[in-house]
Chains A and B, each alone.
Chain A
């Protein structure tokens, strides 16, 4: 994957601004997914698209450096988190994967509900991001050779 030629200044500058927004947006989608359209799968795809965009206006190496972890590790961690979220209820003597929720009042946020499904969704998010990026990166790297 060659860096985009100099003349696509617009893409590079807008990309620089859009990238953090897209990542934030993906987290937003992840967190609100339980109540509004969104969720781990969609959020993962958005995050992957954001990094893919970054890859287009810089290079694969730069994109790899930016996310700092190997996307293959993301897949593994995602699966682990998803399983862990399913195992958590067992500790309190409930069946595997039964949802457990904690409600708490956080200053400035009001009532916050956190539960194992959110953790599970985080796992899905990581697996989806990791899978798409792993494939994209290796396709793009293959290209350089």
Chain B
């Protein structure tokens, strides 16, 4: 399984190349990889039904983080959706954005997303799962901002990123709490310590944090607002990430942790409320929207709310209803998003009110849209019907009476939304479209057609899907084997009656949709002060605080920074010395000092003084150079050849650079007043004195044995080198050196940027 995930990342890396090489068929070629994955996941279907497939590799043993993968029924259901829909979406995207200059980037990101999402659902370690969780957020950010020249898209991308990252932080804290209670981040261990976790005093906090993470990712109220805005992404992205897979990650997390965290009153209250509110809000806003993708986005929010609510209820019936609903929703919503893309691509239609009577020109698309919409509305014999029936039955049996009207109202509005997307653009009076409508080619139609017919096939063969796919998934979520119970026909019962009533009412609602929108205008005023408004206010506040802080701390003058840094260092050193409470005992031992050493010292000091007091720039530079060379001499005197050579070379190159800049500097002027100069001198002398004292103290009192001896002893046996300095640089402390060369490279970038800036400023 590790190979499948890493292979997907490799496929992502190969995508730009494939687009360059086969510009017309890149989508088709790249779709083969997810297709292959899909077949593999299908092939393990019978095996996973028996027991989970587990693989483990050590990753960071010191932190207990293992690269372990855990494929059970739930992970398999998600993986099949991710790879199957992924394959169709990539095929679709290759044609949808054909000849777009960034097609390679899009396909690469889609494949990278698929890899991350697979990693997320297959992880058998909480922290590994978190890594993939964040990866999906990052890829989603890049994909929402795909049209990066559009300011709205950039804003939406950042909004999605901030909301999901905020949730991600909460989630991480929650996961660490769970891990610390269970004593391991391994899923299998945690599964066994469910009782200990629920009994722990950390349980409520851990649960709330985890649920917040899931809610941001799965766009639950009040974090729902980023999802409709994420529709700024190209349509294949919306179909894949923002309806079929990524937004289900939150629901997946809840389902995954249900056997450990679920079943308590807090769990049911939190998820039941959040889910019910999100359900109603989502479908309400969907019915009020006219932009095709917005309608679909809001109805996705409704679906996510339903799933959260069902997992909150947590009975066997509710869980299997959730699995069926999740499966059905991925099929029809993926299809509908791709249809929305077809409408945009083939006719330029983005808004429902701008389309009508298109079925005559695009009969196949209309049929696919109709099938998907029927599944959405939950009409017999489509799979959506099965899911909806089970949803009703589980809610009626849950004993939470207040949920009944919620699902009933939700069902009516859902039928209305189904009609909006399944009827309005296709039938009735033809409306002139921005572009003459034309049926698309097979690459664009394959996705919606396959997914929509899947809806009817799976509906007809409900028991098969149930036994092989949904029951194993539900068993993984409940934590005990569940008996298959899904049927297409449940007989005449209350659920069926509710279904029929909601169908009739929903169609009436569709008939009176303009009146409905008119009558419900009041909710716009509420939305204007909703969570998104709050988000905007918080972001504005953040920017203001950052601006104020920057103005306070960053004066922009190098001398101020230097002064602050140096004085801070001096203060730290003296405070620490004072606190250590030791008498300053400094022993000077001048017995074996040689005359040439004294001379070097004198030359160095004289040069330093000259550099500080020189009246000309050239004089100061020369004096500084002299200081540098005497330092090199000191190195040589103490037989440190490498630092000596380096010092000489650096001094030489410094001279070359100074030659290049010197005569372009303004005339050397004394700009500072005497007072400032005295102040500078005081700081300089204090710093020098501090360091002298520090060095003498360090020389005098050794707290630890010097490491030099070890370095010298180990240089040849473990470093394979006789030059200790070099062995330290490239072997013993190579990580430090790596950091240093990165700093060096950054400094070069900075210098180049500044020089470039100057060249641009020059008047031509």
Q: Give residues in A with beta carbon < 8 Å to B.
A: 1, 33-42, 45-46, 48-49, 52, 72, 75-76, 78-79, 82-83, 86, 97, 99, 101, 113, 115, 117-118, 120-121, 123-124, 127-128, 130-132, 134-136, 138-140, 142-143, 145
Inside 8 A of B645's CB, which chain A residues have their CB? 37-38, 42
Among residues 636 to 661 in chain B, which have CB atoms less than 8 Å away from a CB atom of chain A?
641-642, 645-646, 649-650, 652-653, 656-657, 660-661
Is the Cβ of B642 less than 8 Å from the Cβ of A79? no
Inside 8 A of A76's CB, which chain B residues have their CB? 745
Is the Cβ of A79 less than 8 Å from the Cβ of B745? yes
Q: Is B719 in the interface zone, CB < 8 Å from A?
A: yes
- Give the number of residue pairs across the A-B interface with Cβ within 8 Å: 138
Is the Cβ of B734 less than 8 Å from the Cβ of A97? yes
Number of interface residues, chain B, beta carbon within 8 A: 41
- Taken together as a complex, chains A and B put the C-alpha atoms of A37 and B731 apart, in Å, by 16
Given A34-B723, A131-B747: A79 and B730 interface contact (C-beta under 8 Å): no
Is the Cβ of A124 less than 8 Å from the Cβ of B737? yes
Inside 8 A of B649's CB, which chain A residues have their CB? 42, 45-46, 49
Is the Cβ of A82 less than 8 Å from the Cβ of B741? yes
Nearest CB of A to B654, in Å: 10
- Taken together as a complex, chains A and B put the C-alpha atoms of A88 and B20 apart, in Å, by 31
Is the Cβ of B745 less than 8 Å from the Cβ of A34? no
Kindly identify which residue among A34, A97, A127 contacts B744, using a CB–CB cutoff of 8 Å.
Answer: A127
Inside 8 A of B741's CB, which chain A residues have their CB? 78-79, 82, 123-124, 127-128
Given A34-B721, A135-B748, A138-B752: A39 and B730 interface contact (C-beta under 8 Å): yes
Kindly identify which residue among B652, B725, B738 contacts A82, using a CB–CB cutoff of 8 Å.
Answer: B738
User: Which 9 residue pairs spanning A and B have beta carbons closest together?
Assistant: A34-B721, A37-B641, A45-B649, A131-B748, A117-B730, A39-B726, A35-B722, A139-B660, A127-B741
Among residues 225 to 282 in chain B, which have CB atoms less than 8 Å away from a CB atom of chain A?
none
Given A139-B755, A143-B664: A36 and B723 interface contact (C-beta under 8 Å): yes
Nearest CB of A to B211, in Å: 36
- Taken together as a complex, chains A and B put the C-alpha atoms of A52 and B553 apart, in Å, by 39
- Taken together as a complex, chains A and B put the C-alpha atoms of A37 and B726 apart, in Å, by 8
Is the Cβ of A121 less than 8 Å from the Cβ of B759? no
Among residues 714 to 764 in chain B, which have CB atoms less than 8 Å away from a CB atom of chain A?
719-723, 725-727, 729-731, 734-735, 737-738, 741-742, 744-745, 747-748, 751-752, 755-756, 758-759, 762
Given A42-B649, A124-B741, A145-B759: A136 and B664 interface contact (C-beta under 8 Å): no
Inside 8 A of A139's CB, which chain B residues have their CB? 657, 660-661, 755
Inside 8 A of B756's CB, which chain A residues have their CB? 138
Is the Cβ of B723 less than 8 Å from the Cβ of A134? no
Inside 8 A of A46's CB, which chain B residues have their CB? 649
Offer 6 A-B interface pairs, CB within 8 angstroms, sorted by A.
A34-B719, A37-B645, A42-B645, A79-B741, A120-B737, A128-B744
Inside 8 A of A124's CB, which chain B residues have their CB? 729-730, 737, 741
Given A79-B742, A127-B745: A41 and B755 interface contact (C-beta under 8 Å): no
For B641, the closest partner residue in chain A by CB is A37
Nearest CB of A to B666, in Å: 16
Inside 8 A of A52's CB, which chain B residues have their CB? 653, 656
Inside 8 A of B650's CB, which chain A residues have their CB? 45
Inside 8 A of A120's CB, which chain B residues have their CB? 730, 734, 737-738
For A99, the closest partner residue in chain B by CB is B731
Is the Cβ of B723 less than 8 Å from the Cβ of A45? no
Is the Cβ of A117 less than 8 Å from the Cβ of B731? yes
Inside 8 A of B646's CB, which chain A residues have their CB? 41-42, 45
Q: Give residues in B with beta carbon < 8 Å to A.
A: 641-642, 645-646, 649-650, 652-653, 656-657, 660-661, 664, 719-723, 725-727, 729-731, 734-735, 737-738, 741-742, 744-745, 747-748, 751-752, 755-756, 758-759, 762
Inside 8 A of B747's CB, which chain A residues have their CB? 131
Is the Cβ of A45 less than 8 Å from the Cβ of B653? yes
Is the Cβ of B745 less than 8 Å from the Cβ of A86? no
Is the Cβ of B737 less than 8 Å from the Cβ of A37? no
Inside 8 A of B642's CB, which chain A residues have their CB? 37-39, 42
Is the Cβ of B751 less than 8 Å from the Cβ of A33? no
- Taken together as a complex, chains A and B put the C-alpha atoms of A41 and B719 apart, in Å, by 18
Nearest CB of B to A33, in Å: 5
Q: Counting chain B CB atoms within 10 Å of each CB, which of A34, A123, A128 scores highest?
A: A34
Given A82-B741, A117-B730, A131-B747: A33 and B656 interface contact (C-beta under 8 Å): no
Nearest CB of B to A6, in Å: 20
Inside 8 A of A39's CB, which chain B residues have their CB? 642, 723, 725-726, 729-730
Given A48-B653, A124-B737: A35 and B721 interface contact (C-beta under 8 Å): yes
- Taken together as a complex, chains A and B put the C-alpha atoms of A52 and B661 apart, in Å, by 15
Q: Counting chain B CB atoms within 10 Å of each CB, which of A1, A38, A118 scores highest?
A: A38
Nearest CB of B to A98, in Å: 9
Inside 8 A of A34's CB, which chain B residues have their CB? 719-723, 726-727, 730
For B646, the closest partner residue in chain A by CB is A42
Q: A78-B741, A136-B660 are in contact. List 10 more A-B contacts (CB 8 A).
A: A34-B720, A34-B723, A36-B722, A37-B723, A97-B734, A99-B734, A117-B730, A121-B726, A131-B745, A134-B751
Inside 8 A of B653's CB, which chain A residues have their CB? 45, 48-49, 52, 132, 136
Kindly identify which residue among B721, B725, B738, B748 contacts A130, using a CB–CB cutoff of 8 Å.
Answer: B748
Inside 8 A of B735's CB, which chain A residues have their CB? 86, 97
Is the Cβ of B730 less than 8 Å from the Cβ of A40? yes
- Taken together as a complex, chains A and B put the C-alpha atoms of A76 and B751 apart, in Å, by 16
Inside 8 A of B652's CB, which chain A residues have their CB? 49
For A138, the closest partner residue in chain B by CB is B755
Is the Cβ of A33 less than 8 Å from the Cβ of B726? yes
- Taken together as a complex, chains A and B put the C-alpha atoms of A113 and B716 apart, in Å, by 12
Is the Cβ of B752 less than 8 Å from the Cβ of A38? no
Inside 8 A of B726's CB, which chain A residues have their CB? 33-34, 38-39, 121
Nearest CB of A to B89, in Å: 33
For B722, the closest partner residue in chain A by CB is A35
Inside 8 A of B734's CB, which chain A residues have their CB? 86, 97, 99, 117, 120
Inside 8 A of B762's CB, which chain A residues have their CB? 145
Nearest CB of A to B594, in Å: 23
Given A42-B642, A123-B741: A72 and B752 interface contact (C-beta under 8 Å): yes
Inside 8 A of B723's CB, which chain A residues have their CB? 33-39
Kindly identify which residue among B656, B719, B759 contacts A99, using a CB–CB cutoff of 8 Å.
Answer: B719
Inside 8 A of B660's CB, which chain A residues have their CB? 1, 136, 139-140, 143
Nearest CB of A to B650, in Å: 7
Q: Counting chain A CB atoms within 10 Å of each CB, which of B721, B737, B759 scores highest?
A: B721
- Taken together as a complex, chains A and B put the C-alpha atoms of A84 and B438 apart, in Å, by 52
- Taken together as a complex, chains A and B put the C-alpha atoms of A121 and B642 apart, in Å, by 14
Nearest CB of B to A88, in Å: 12
Inside 8 A of B661's CB, which chain A residues have their CB? 139
Inside 8 A of A138's CB, which chain B residues have their CB? 751-752, 755-756
